[in-house]
Amino acid sequence: MILRKRIHLIGLSLLLSLFQFTSAWAELKVGAAAPSFTAPAALAGETYNFVLAEALKKGPVVVYFYPKAFTSGCTIEAQLFAQATDKFAELKATVIGVSSDDIETLKKFSQGPCGGKFAVAADLDRKIIKAYDAGMMLMPSMASRISYVVTPDSKILFVHSGMSPDQHVSSTLAALQAWHAKR
């Protein structure tokens, strides 16, 4: 069983790497209204309901979509977001990762690669992925790697789309810093 699971994860990682240049079908545009959502989420292994409207009352929110917990790129991206948690907090920003993984998987992911630093939400029915136009072009049942910065007035401030995980954190931080500088 363990070998079968490893083979499945290796196959999934290879498949995802084949689609590294495949972006979402489309993406929400800067200035568009950000779809509101509530989703089961995990933070440091504990579950709760994440409500975007509540998080926006505290400040901007980075809603980042990723294909699959514990795959190489998604692990790297989660670790980078975890390492930047203090920088996001200085900007009064909340980070929430969203995937179609189940909540039990995300409880483990939130403790592991996320380091208990930020929440990850389960979108099993893919309604959030669809609302944010974040489905992979060739595999719409999976989220593409796309990050949105949403301002407290529920508008899309910034979008970064790309399967490489290494620019999502730096680009969303830069967008938040520029937004704060204009205020």
Catalytic residues: 74
Tell me how far apart the alpha carbons of residues 43 and 179 are, in angstroms, rounded to a whole number. Answer: 27
Both tokens of 148, joined, read 């949105």
Among the listed residues 52, 24, 57, the one whose alpha carbon sits nearest the alpha carbon of residue 138: 24
Q: Residue 122 in contact with residue 39, Cβ under 8 Å? A: yes
Tell me how far apart the alpha carbons of residues 78 and 101 are, in angstroms, rounded to a whole number. Answer: 14
Inter-helix orientation angle 72-83/2-18, to 10°: 80
The DSSP H or E segment spanning 97 is strand 94-99
